[in-house]
Structure 1
Amino acid sequence: MATPQDVATEVKQLTERINYLNYQYYQNSISEVPDFEFDMMLKRLQELEEQHPELRLPNSPTQRVGGTITKSFKTVFHRYPMLSLSNTYSEEDLREFDNRVQKAIGHEVEYVCEQKFDGVAISLTYENGILVQGATRGDGTRGDDITSNVRTIRDIPLQAHGQGYPDLFEVRGEVFLPLQVFQQLNQEREENGEQLLANPRNAASGTLKQQDSSIVASRKLGCYSYSFQSSNMPFDTHSESLEAIQKWGFKVSDTWRKCSSIDKVLEYINEWEQKRHELPIATDGVVVKVNSYALQEELGFTAKSPRWAIAYKYPAMSAATKLQGIQYQVGRTGAVTPVALLDPVLLAGTVVKRASVHNANEIQRLDLRLGDIVFVEKGGEIIPKITGVDITKRPADSTPIVYPTECPACHTPLVRVEGEAQFYCPNEKGCEPQILAKLEHFISRKAMNVDELGPKTLEQLYKAGYVRNVADLYDLTFEQLANLERMGEKSANNILNSLAKSKETPFERVLFALGIRFVGSTVAKKLADQFPDIAALRGATYEELIAVNEIGGRIANSIQEYFAEPGHAILLERLQVAGLEFKSEKVQPEMQSDKLEGKTFVISGVFETISRDELQQLIVSHGGKVVSSISAKLTYLVAGDKMGPAKLEKANKLGITILSEDQFLAMIQ
C-alpha cells in the first residue's frame, strides 16, 4: 500500500511532467507522447487529487479544465498601476510624441512597436515562478481577482519555465477570444436562437467574469503577454524582457519589432495596416514604447498615462457600396435571417460581397432600399454589417424593402413570437434548409461528432429520400450509402462505423445534439447534471426547470414546448431504440435524511460557502423540493447576498420564513 509520502511524490512528478508536456505542445508545437498516454496521466493525477485534495499543487494542470465556482470576485490592488495609453490617429501626432521624447532625453531613442490587440488587459503575479494571482485592470489601481478563471487559459503558464526570473514578478497580457472561436460561438448562438455576441473583445471580457471556470475553459481563450514588472528588474530594455518571458513559457506575439527611429516606426505601422488582418485576433492599432527601461524611468508618467509610450489607432474600417438585394436564409430553428448582397468592395484586406442586417427591425431602422449606397463596417466585428445609408445618393423612385411573409424555401407563412425581433418558419418537418441544418448540427463535433459524415453527403441522403430526421441516420444501410454518387465501399463502411461510435456520446452532448432552441452546450450540461435521464427531463415542471442554475423562463418554456410536440416523442423513442445514451453519468445525490420532507424552498442570491447547485442538491438529498417562484404555499426562502428586492418584499408580504445560509445548514445538521 502506498504511503502518504509516495502519493505526494507521485502527485508532484505527474504535475511536473504534464506541465512540461503542455509547454512543449502549446508553446513549441511538439507532441512528445501519444494523446492516450497524456490522457491517462492526467486522469491519474485527477484521481489522486480527488482522493487527497490537500496534495494538489498550486500549479496543477487539472485546473486547466476549470470547475471552480466563484460566488463573487475579490478586489485586489495592483502593485504597479495599470495605466491607459494616450491615443493618436495621425503621423503628425507620432512625430510630435518623438520630438517630446528627444527633447526630454537629448538624443534619438530606440522604440519597440507591438500590435495593439483588441482584448482584455490582465495582470499575472508569480511567486517563486508559480502563478498566484490573475487580476483584471479595473480602474488601473485595483481590479477583480479572477485567478481560477485565468488558470484555465493554456497560454498562461501555471509555473514559469527555466531559470533567472525574480522571486516575485508580474507579467501583463491581453486575453482574447480567437476569431475562429468567436465565429463558432456566434454560429452556435445563432442556431440556438440566442442573441449574437457583438465582438470578440466583449465576448472575452464576459467570459473572464463567468462565475463557473469550466465555462471559461470551454471558450478556449488565448493570451499574448507584452510587459514585465518587478522591483528587482533583471533587464535593461523592454525587448530583452519580451525575449525572456517567452523563454519562461509565456506566449508573446512574434509581431513586435525594435525600431531605431520614428521613421522606422512609421514603416512598421504602414506595413501592418493590411497584414494585421491575417492575425488570429482583432487588432486596431500599434503600441509604440521607448525600449530602454532607464529612459522610461527618466521620462516618467502623467496622471493617466506613461510619457514613454503612445498608441497609434488605425482608421475605422468602413466602405461605401451599392445594395443589390436581400437574401433570406433559413436556420436550424426556422429563424429567417436577412443578408445584404453588395457590389464587391475591399474592406479590411478582404473583398466583401455580403453583410449582416440581423432582422426586420434593422431593415426598418436603417430604412434600407434596393439600390441604396450603404456604409459597411467591420471594426471589431467579424461579419461585416451595414451601419447606415447615404441618403444623398438615393434614387428618387426607390421603394422600401418589404420583409417576406412566407418562408423563402418552403413558402409556409412566417410567424413572429411576441417580444422577439426574428421571424420564424414553423414547418420544421418539411422545410429543407431547416432539416439539413438540424442534421448538420446533430453530427457536429460538439454534438454527436459523426466525423465521417459531411454537409454534402447529408444533402445527398436527403435528396435520395433516405434521411428526413436525425433518427433516420441510424437506419441507414450499406446499400443506401453505396448507391450515393462518388461513394465507395470504404467510405460507406466508415460512415456506418462513425454512426455506431456516436452511440457512446454522453447524455449532455446528445441533449445538445437534439437542437432544442436555447439549449446550447452549457445549458445541456447543466440539465444533464440535474436530471438523471431523458424521462426525468421530459417530466420536469416549469418550476423544476428554472430552479436549475442559469436556466430562466425562456429556456424552460422552450424545453417544455419541445417535449410536448408528438413528433419529438416519436423521434426520441427511435433514438433510444437505436442505442443513444439518454442517461446521465452523474451520480444523483443519495437520500441522507427526510428532515425536509414536504417542505419547499426558493433559493435566491449568491452564497459564501456553497454554490446554488450544491444547495439545491442538499435540499433534495434531505427530502425537500426546490421551486422557483414565491407563493403562499412556499415553506422557506433561502436568501444569499445580492438577492432581488422583489423576491424579498414578496416573501415578507406573504409571511414566508427567510433563512440565511447558516440557518439552512443548521437545519440539516
Structure 2
Amino acid sequence: MNESEAKQRIDELCDSLNRYSYEYYMENQSSISDYEFDRLLSELKQLEAQFPQFLRPDSPTQRVGGESDNTFEKVTHTVQMGSLQDVFSEEELLSFDSRVRETLTPEYVVEPKIDGLSVSLEYVDGVFTRGSTRGDGFVGEDVTMNLKTIHSIPLKLKEPIPFLEVRGEVYMPRESFETLVAGQIERGEEPFKNPRNAAAGSLRQKNSKITAQRKLDIFVFNLQQVEGASFETHSQTLDYLKSQGFQVSPSYLRCETMEQAIEEIRKIGQNRYEYPFDIDGAVVKVNNLSDRERLGATAKYPKWAVAFKYPPEEKETTLLDIEINVGRTGALTPTALFEPITLAGTTVSRAVLHNQDFIDEKEIRIGDVIRVRKAGDIIPEVLCSVSHAQDSVPYQIPRSCPSCGEPVVREDDQAVLRCVNPLCPSAVFRQIVHFASRDAMNIDGLGPAMIQALIANEHIESAADLYTLNRSEVEALDRVGEKSAQNLFDALEASKKNPLSKLVFALGIRNIGQKASELLAQTFHTMDKLASAEYNSIMEIDGFGETMAQSVVEYFSRPQAIELIQKLKDAGLRMDEPQKQQESAVFAGKTFVLTGTLPTLSRKDAAAKITANGGKVTSSVSKKTDFVVAGEDAGSKLTKAQSLSIPVLSEEDLLRMIESAQSDANTQEGSHEG
C-alpha cells in the first residue's frame, strides 16, 4: 500500500468508526457488531503505526489512552469558569427573580445540576484541541488526553467552526461507580466516597489508560466563546451544541416565569434518583445572552443564575437488629440493621451507629421506628429514634468480644469499647487487610477474600506469614490459579522495597495515620531507632500530641509487635526511610496547614512541595502555624487562621514563593561557577 492509498484508507476508517461510535454512545444503536468494530479499529491502529504522518487528531485510536504520563500543565481560562450562588428554598428563588426584574423582564432556562467536575473543551476548525479542568476558575490543568477517553466528547464537530469553547460537567455514572468501588474493596483499597470524587480522581490519572477504564461521561451545559456563529439565547446554544454532536444537559426547559421554573425544579427533585447519575440540584439561568450582559456579576457569582440545592432525603423504617463488628485495632463498632428502604436512588438496610454514647444519645433500641438519611446523599446515617417498640429496653453493646469471646474494655476518655486480645480473629483479619492496602504495603491481588481464605486454611496468622507462603498451597485455594498466584508472589516481592513510612502505616498503630507515619519515618530514619524512641522525643515532632506519642510507645512495648517486626525484617523488608533531596530551604522552620480544594494541586502534592523545600505540614491550625494554604471551600481552619492573624496563601502564592527561591538558588549557583 502506497502513501496515497494509506491516507485514503485511514480517513475512511476514522470517519466510519467515529460515526459508529457516535451511534453507539449517543443514539444507543449500532450499525455493526462489536467484533467488526474491533476488527476495523485494529486495522486502523496498524495503518497509523505504519504511516504515523497520517494520524488524525480525531482518530478513534486516541480514545483508548496512552502509556506516557500526562503533564497537567497550567491553562489560563480566557473566559472565567465561575461558580454559582447556592439557594435552598423557593423563597430564595423568588427573591432572585425579584432582583432580576429590577433590571429586566427575564425568560429562564432550568436544567438539572450534574454532580461532577467542570471542564473546558476547545475546538479549532471543528477539531478538539484542548481540554482543561476548572481549577480556581482562572487557571486549570490540561487534561486533554484523559478527556479524549470519554466517548461522548466529539473529537471532530459536524461543522468546521473556526473556534469554539464549551463548558461541561464530567461525571461517573452510578453503575460505573459501583463497579469501581466493588473492585477497590476486593483489592483491599480505600474506596472512593462518592461518584464525584471518583470522577475527579479518574480525570487526574497520570496514565490515561486508567482513565479510559473508569467509563466517565460528560454533559455540556454552556457555550463559553465562539467564532463563526452568533446566538441570542442560551437555549439556542444548547440546541446548536447538540447538533454538533455534544451530549448537552439531560433536560432543559424554557420558563417565562419563576413560578414555572419552580414547578420544573420540583419535578427534577421528584425524579432525581431515577437518573443513572448523581445530581445535587437544579440551575436557573436567564436565557437571553444580552440580558446576562446587562445583569453582570458580583466578585464571586454571576447575577443571572442560581443553583437550587435539594435537601437530603429522609425516611422512616424499623430497626431489626444491631450487629457488632471488630476492627483492626480491636474497636467494637455497632451497625444498625433495618428494613430496607430506598434513599438517594439506592436500597439501604444498614448504617453505622458509632459507639455506645451515640446509641444512648439517640435512645436507639431494637424494634424502634428510626429515621434514616444519606449524609451527602452517599453514606446512610441514623438521625433519631421516632418511637420505641412495646416492651423495648435500652441497648447495650456486649461486654465480651463477638469474635473471640474475650472481655472488652473502655479506656479512659475513649467512647469506643475495644477487644485487647492480640489474637482476636476479626482484628487479625482486618489488620492484614490494612497491611496489604494500597496506601500501606500495596500488595496487589491480596484482597479481603484472598486473606480470608488464607486464614481459614491456616496458612497465615499475621502479616509476616504472607512472606513465607507456600506457592502450591496458594494455588490450591478456590478460584486461585497459577497466574493469580504468580501475580501475588510478585506483588509480595515488590512490597519488600517499600520505604519505612509505608511499613509504619501498614503496622496499623492506633491513632497513627499515613501522614504521621511519614513524620515518624523521616524523624527516626530506621525501624530500630523508631522502636526504641522515647515518649519525649516523639512529642517533639511537630503535629504530634500526647495521645499519638503514647500510642507509638505502647505499640513498640508489646512483645507481639517486636516479634512481628523481627519476622518482617527476616523476610527482607526494607527497614529504613530514604532521605528526600531538599530542593530549597525557603520554608525551613516553617509550619503549614492545608485547607480546601486547591486549583491544580492535590493536598498530597502540595504537602510534598512544602516538605521538599524545608517546610512541615500539620493538620491543625495553632499559634505555631506560619502559613495556611487555602483553596475553594476552605472551612474552619481558614476562619481560625484569620482570627489568629496567620498569613493565608493561595496555591499561586505558594508556587510563586517556591519558584522565586529556586530561581535565586540557580542564580547563586551560576555566580559561584563564574
Same fold (TM over 0.5): yes
| Superposed CA offset, 1:588-638 (max 9, x none) | xxxxxxxxxxxxxxxxxxxxxxxxxxxxxxxxxxxxxxx996979x9x999
Helix, strand or coil for the counterpart of 1:6? helix
| Superposed CA offset, 1:566-603 (max 9, x none) | xxxxxxxxxxxxxxxxxxxxxxxxxxxxxxxxxxxxxx
Answering whether residue 388 of structure 2 is matched by residue 385 of structure 1, we say no
Q: CA deviation at 1:407?
A: 5.6
Amino acid corresponding to residue 269 of structure 2 in structure 1: E
Counterpart in the other structure of 1:414: 425
Q: 1:543 to 1:4 in 2, by over 3 A?
A: farther
Q: CA deviation at 1:4?
A: 3.0
| Superposed CA offset, 1:375-398 (max 9, x none) | 53225444x512555699899952
Counterpart in the other structure of 2:145: 148
Counterpart in the other structure of 2:38: 39
Picking from 202, 219, 222, the partner of 1:227 is 222
Amino acid corresponding to residue 87 of structure 2 in structure 1: T
Matched ranges for 1:7-22 at <5 A: 7-22=6-21
Are 1:126 and 1:170, in contact at CA under 8 Å, matched by a contact in 2? yes
Answering whether residue 381 of structure 2 is matched by residue 428 of structure 1, we say no
Are 1:88 and 1:311, in contact at CA under 8 Å, matched by a contact in 2? yes
Q: CA deviation at 1:29?
A: 1.6
Q: 1:360 to 1:209 in 2, by over 3 A?
A: farther
Matched ranges for 1:575-654 at <5 A: none
Q: 1:399 to 1:556 in 2, by over 3 A?
A: closer
Q: CA deviation at 1:102?
A: 1.7
Q: Matched residues in 1 for 2:129 and 2:161: separation? A: 14
Answering whether residue 191 of structure 2 is matched by residue 238 of structure 1, we say no
Counterpart in the other structure of 1:490: none
Q: 1:403 to 1:89 in 2, by over 3 A?
A: farther
Picking from 257, 263, 266, the partner of 1:261 is 257
Amino acid corresponding to residue 193 of structure 1 in structure 2: G
Helix, strand or coil for the counterpart of 2:103? helix
Matched ranges for 1:87-102 at <5 A: 87-102=86-101
Counterpart in the other structure of 1:578: none
Amino acid corresponding to residue 181 of structure 1 in structure 2: S
Greater mean deviation of Cα atoms: 82-91 or 372-381 = 372-381
Q: CA deviation at 1:53?
A: 3.6
Counterpart in the other structure of 1:477: none
Q: Matched residues in 2 for 1:115 and 1:429: separation? A: 48
Picking from 156, 159, 164, the partner of 1:169 is 164
Greater mean deviation of Cα atoms: 92-101 or 322-331 = 322-331
Picking from 131, 152, 158, the partner of 2:155 is 158
| Superposed CA offset, 1:89-126 (max 9, x none) | 11111111112222201x3x221100011101111011
Q: Matched residues in 1 for 2:65 and 2:332: separation? A: 36
Picking from 176, 193, 205, the partner of 1:181 is 176
Q: Matched residues in 2 for 1:248 and 1:56: separation? A: 23
Helix, strand or coil for the counterpart of 1:277? helix
Q: 1:430 to 1:349 in 2, by over 3 A?
A: closer
Answering whether residue 68 of structure 2 is matched by residue 69 of structure 1, we say yes
Q: Matched residues in 2 for 1:218 and 1:324: separation? A: 39
Q: Matched residues in 2 for 1:298 and 1:43: separation? A: 53
Q: Matched residues in 2 for 1:55 and 1:169: separation? A: 24
Answering whether residue 259 of structure 2 is matched by residue 291 of structure 1, we say no
Answering whether residue 170 of structure 2 is matched by residue 217 of structure 1, we say no
Q: 1:330 to 1:259 in 2, by over 3 A?
A: farther
Answering whether residue 129 of structure 2 is matched by residue 129 of structure 1, we say no
Greater mean deviation of Cα atoms: 249-258 or 85-94 = 249-258
Picking from 253, 271, 274, the partner of 2:270 is 274
Are 2:70 and 2:145, in contact at CA under 8 Å, matched by a contact in 1? no
Amino acid corresponding to residue 278 of structure 2 in structure 1: A
Counterpart in the other structure of 1:203: 198
Helix, strand or coil for the counterpart of 2:45? helix
Q: Matched residues in 1 for 2:431 and 2:507: separation? A: 15
Q: 1:644 to 1:167 in 2, by over 3 A?
A: closer
Q: 1:87 to 1:640 in 2, by over 3 A?
A: same
Q: Matched residues in 1 for 2:505 and 2:3: separation? A: 48
Q: Which runs of 5+ in 1 are unaligned?
A: 433-467, 475-501, 515-532, 559-626, 650-669
Amino acid corresponding to residue 144 of structure 2 in structure 1: T
Query: CA RMSD for the aligned pairs?
Result: 4.6
Helix, strand or coil for the counterpart of 2:453? coil
Amino acid corresponding to residue 211 of structure 1 in structure 2: K
Q: 1:139 to 1:182 in 2, by over 3 A?
A: same
Amino acid corresponding to residue 104 of structure 1 in structure 2: T
Q: CA deviation at 1:34?
A: 1.7
Helix, strand or coil for the counterpart of 2:262? helix
Counterpart in the other structure of 2:490: 537
Amino acid corresponding to residue 23 of structure 2 in structure 1: Q
| Superposed CA offset, 1:537-566 (max 9, x none) | 38845446x59xxx96699999xxxxxxxx
| Superposed CA offset, 1:323-374 (max 9, x none) | 331347999xxx9997522256664467x66124298899899999544775
Are 1:341 and 1:353, in contact at CA under 8 Å, matched by a contact in 2? no
Q: TM-score, normalised by structure 1?
A: 0.61
Amino acid corresponding to residue 255 of structure 1 in structure 2: S
Identity of counterpart residues, as a percentage? 32
Q: CA deviation at 1:309?
A: 0.9
Q: CA deviation at 1:5?
A: 3.4
Amino acid corresponding to residue 235 of structure 1 in structure 2: F
Report how many aligned residue pairs link the two structures.
Answer: 475
Helix, strand or coil for the counterpart of 1:254? coil
Q: 1:55 to 1:353 in 2, by over 3 A?
A: closer
Are 1:361 and 1:421, in contact at CA under 8 Å, matched by a contact in 2? no
Q: 1:194 to 1:400 in 2, by over 3 A?
A: farther
Q: 1:380 to 1:221 in 2, by over 3 A?
A: farther
Helix, strand or coil for the counterpart of 1:415? helix
Q: 1:33 to 1:368 in 2, by over 3 A?
A: farther
Amino acid corresponding to residue 292 of structure 2 in structure 1: Q
Counterpart in the other structure of 1:486: none
Q: 1:150 to 1:88 in 2, by over 3 A?
A: same
Q: CA deviation at 1:18?
A: 1.2
Q: 1:420 to 1:174 in 2, by over 3 A?
A: farther
Q: CA deviation at 1:158?
A: 1.1
Counterpart in the other structure of 1:399: 395
| Superposed CA offset, 1:290-317 (max 9, x none) | 1111212222222222111111111122
Are 2:372 and 2:383, in contact at CA under 8 Å, matched by a contact in 1? yes
Q: 1:155 to 1:71 in 2, by over 3 A?
A: closer
Are 2:353 and 2:359, in contact at CA under 8 Å, matched by a contact in 1? no
Amino acid corresponding to residue 222 of structure 1 in structure 2: D
| Superposed CA offset, 1:57-101 (max 9, x none) | 211211211124335311101121011111111111111111222
Q: TM-score, normalised by structure 2?
A: 0.60
Q: 1:392 to 1:385 in 2, by over 3 A?
A: same
Counterpart in the other structure of 2:187: 192
Answering whether residue 115 of structure 2 is matched by residue 118 of structure 1, we say yes
Matched ranges for 1:342-353 at <5 A: 342-343=338-339, 347-348=343-344
Q: 1:298 to 1:44 in 2, by over 3 A?
A: same
Q: Matched residues in 2 for 1:365 and 1:60: separation? A: 62
Q: CA deviation at 1:194?
A: 2.2
Amino acid corresponding to residue 286 of structure 2 in structure 1: V
| Superposed CA offset, 1:233-268 (max 9, x none) | 422211111112112111124322111211110110
Q: Matched residues in 1 for 2:45 and 2:333: separation? A: 45
Amino acid corresponding to residue 80 of structure 2 in structure 1: P
Amino acid corresponding to residue 66 of structure 2 in structure 1: G
Are 2:373 and 2:383, in contact at CA under 8 Å, matched by a contact in 1? no
Q: Matched residues in 2 for 1:100 and 1:17: separation? A: 51
